[in-house]
Amino acid sequence: MSFKIKLAVLALTAAFSSAAFSAEAMLGTGGYNRQLQKMEMMKMLDANGDHMVTAAEADAYYNSMFDALNKDNDDSLDANEWVGTNGKTKIDIATGGYSRELRSMKMMKAMDTDGDHKVTREEFLNFHRAVFAHKDTTGDEQISAQEWAANLLSK
Ligand SMILES: [Ca+2]
Ligand SMILES: [Ca+2]
Ligand SMILES: [Ca+2]
């Protein structure tokens, strides 16, 4: 590794740790990322079971998740839809741990980029596309098991 690259990496690392809040806004909470990086979750996104998650598989998965959360079938998720009513917060297509972490108000805020207290399908998908891009460290538009299991927030 050249000295210049080392410096750039150091600067990036420093910027990342001093900007914990914006990292959370971009990639979600620590708890969320710990649940997401589990292999059990990767399997749920990997629709064709080839041990790689493509951008198309991720989009299809999060479209289904949006539909599962969007009880009134309008174009956005409000706070009630987000947290779930009568204690039924588990989403069938995700693990219990992931469902719980996703449905926190912190996560809703992270995805509500225009701050209108609703998360549209576009906001929802854009957030997950950003997470996907961060996980995809090799930039080949698919995520391997190794990339999947990396902790994005502790880099
Ligand atoms: Ca796949
Ligand atoms: Ca709705
Ligand atoms: Ca919004």
- Span 94-127, pLDDT tens digits: 999 999 999 999 999 999 999 999 999 999 999 9
Tell me the pTM. Answer: 0.83
Ligand of minimum distance to the alpha carbon of 120: 3
Cα 106 to ligand 2 centre (Å):
18
What is the number of domains present in the chain? 1
- Span 120-152, pLDDT tens digits: 999 999 999 999 999 999 999 999 999 999 988
CA–CA gap between residue 63 and residue 92 (Å, rounded): 14
Band the pLDDT of 17: cuts 50, 70, 90. low
What is the reported pLDDT for 102? 97
Cross-strand bridge partners of residue 53: 143
* Residue ranges making up the domain that contains 34: 3-154
Of 81, 65, 37, 84, the closest CA to residue 124 belongs to 65
